[in-house]
């Protein structure tokens, strides 16, 4: 994985997760909910899920980029 591909992938992932969090908060505020919980809990779970996906998928991208970087030698 080249440096540019890693940069674009991580930037795109970050933008997607920010959009996910913003959309989830917006939908919770206007009353579109998939589960019947309080709004603060739903907002917290939306942010937590977005950050969890960002960290895990970002870590996977970093792993493959690191393997590629170390093999360039």
pLDDT at 10: 93
Residue 33 has pLDDT above 70, yes or no: no
Average pLDDT for residues 26-44, to the nearest whole number?
80
* DSSP single-letter state for residue 59: H
Task: Go through 18-47 and write b for each residue having 16 or more CB atoms within 10 A of its CB, e for each that does not.
Answer: eebbeebbeebeeeeeeeeeeeeebeeebe
Tokens of 58: 């970002």
Average pLDDT for residues 7-13, to the nearest whole number?
94
The full set of domain ranges for the chain reads: 3-72
Mean pLDDT of the chain: 89
pLDDT at 63: 95
């Amino acid at each position: 994985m080249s440096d540019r591909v890693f940069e674009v992938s991580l930037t795109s992932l970050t933008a997607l997760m920010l959009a996910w969090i913003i959309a989830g908060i917006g939908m919770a505020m206007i009353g579109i909910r998939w589960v019947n919980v309080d709004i603060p809990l739903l907002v917290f779970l939306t942010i937590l899920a977005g950050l969890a996906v960002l960290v895990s998928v970002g870590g996977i991208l970093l792993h493959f980029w690191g393997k590629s970087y170390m093999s360039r030698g």
